[in-house]
Amino acid sequence: MNNERMDGKVIIITGGSSGMGAALAKDFAKRGAKVAIFDLDKLKGMHVIQEIENLKGKALFFEVDVTNKQEIEAKVEIVEKELGPITSWINSAGISRMVPFLSSSEELWDLTMNVNLKATFLCCQVAIKKMLEHGKGEIINMSSLSGKKASSWQTVYCASKFGVQGLTQSIAKEFASDNIRINSICPGIVQTEMWEKLKYEYAQKRNINPEEVMPYFEQNIPMHRLVEMEDVINAAVFLLTDNSSYLTGQSINLAGGEWMD
């Protein structure tokens, strides 16, 4: 996907201030897309915008809580006025904690479900309404291998991501004949800010040192390496361009051979 251009695309990326969302925003802008970031973290979001502008790309930041439908709708109107009709949407905002099941609080359940699942539902509704008006569109939901395989201490996260899989597949079917494609990406471990915190919880679960966590994963993945940002970018560019024009309701496992369903 190295030379693939994205001129003419207007892409909203939730969670674009950090991690995979930020990397995708920067990459898409380099390929000629106009990008809008929806995130709670304004400081980090403005850094991403600055980096894009330094390379003469076009990007805007919006402080949005993606669990709030009114906020999403209001900001989408501004995006369309400033950048043009949206063509694509990536739902990458997410949170994750690793907690034993019996210590998982109701608050953790509500927060995780709201950010990972309900917000994806709300954003897909807003996106699809616009895409129906425009006659086409593509959505990527950033799911996880945890949307496909169970993990102890990650019950709440897994439940939210399994939900994202069901949501993605159901709406993909409903809007397949409307020229709107909805797919998901299911990464294994990507070393973002999310894992900076999670590795301490995982170390506790396995009773190892935090520095041993990533080598532990590498050893157990058939390809013996973690997901690289380039892997995520390649999958996303593929799913947002005509290279994948017959794919909808699918999920790409970025798993290095660890999971095959």
Q: Which are the catalytic amino acids?
A: 157
Q: How far is the CB of 234 from ligand NAD (least distance, A)?
A: 16
Q: Which two tokens stand for residue 166?
A: 């069901």
Our finding on whether 221 is near ligand NAD (CB under 6 A) is: no
Our finding on whether 112 is near ligand NAD (CB under 6 A) is: no
Our finding on whether 249 is near ligand NAD (CB under 6 A) is: no
Q: Which two tokens stand for residue 120?
A: 């994806």
Our finding on whether 18 is near ligand NAD (CB under 6 A) is: yes
DSSP letter string, 35-55: EEEEES-HHHHHHHHHHHHHT
Closer residue to ligand NAD in complex, CB, 27/41: 41
Q: Which two tokens stand for residue 21?
A: 């969302």
Closer residue to ligand NAD in complex, CB, 18/248: 18
- Contact at 8 Å (CB) between 105 and 27? no
Region near ligand NAD per CB under 6 A, out of 62-70, 101-109, 176-184, 213-221: 62-70
CA dihedral 34, 40, 43, 45 (to 10 degrees): -20
User: Which residue among 88, 104, 183, 192 contacts ligand NAD (CB under 6 A)?
Assistant: 192
Q: Identify residue 226 by its one-letter amino acid code.
A: L
How many of the chain's residues bind ligand NAD (CB under 6 A)? 29
CA angle 227, 233, 236 (to 5 degrees): 110
- Contact at 8 Å (CB) between 171 and 124? yes
Q: Which two tokens stand for residue 200?
A: 């301490």
Q: In whole angstroms, give the CA distance from residue 53 to residue 60.
A: 10
User: Which residue among 52, 115, 128, 172 contacts ligand NAD (CB under 6 A)?
Assistant: 115
203 DSSP 8-state letter: H
Q: In whole angstroms, give the CA distance from residue 182 to residue 124.
A: 9
Closer residue to ligand NAD in complex, CB, 40/132: 40
Residues 193-212 that bind ligand NAD (CB under 6 A): 193-195
Our finding on whether 27 is near ligand NAD (CB under 6 A) is: no
Closer residue to ligand NAD in complex, CB, 5/224: 224
Provide the 3-class DSSP secondary structure of residue 15. coil
Q: HEC profile for 232-248?
A: HHHHHHHHHCHHHCCCC
Our finding on whether 66 is near ligand NAD (CB under 6 A) is: yes
Residues 171-190 that bind ligand NAD (CB under 6 A): 187, 189-190
User: Which residue among 10, 11, 12, 15 contacts ligand NAD (CB under 6 A)?
Assistant: 15
Closer residue to ligand NAD in complex, CB, 133/200: 200
Region near ligand NAD per CB under 6 A, out of 35-43, 80-88, 100-108, 128-136: 35-43
Q: How far is CA 88 from the centre of its chain?
A: 13
Which chain residues interact with ligand NAD by CB under 6 A?
14-15, 17-21, 39-41, 64-67, 92-96, 115, 142, 144, 187, 189-190, 192-195
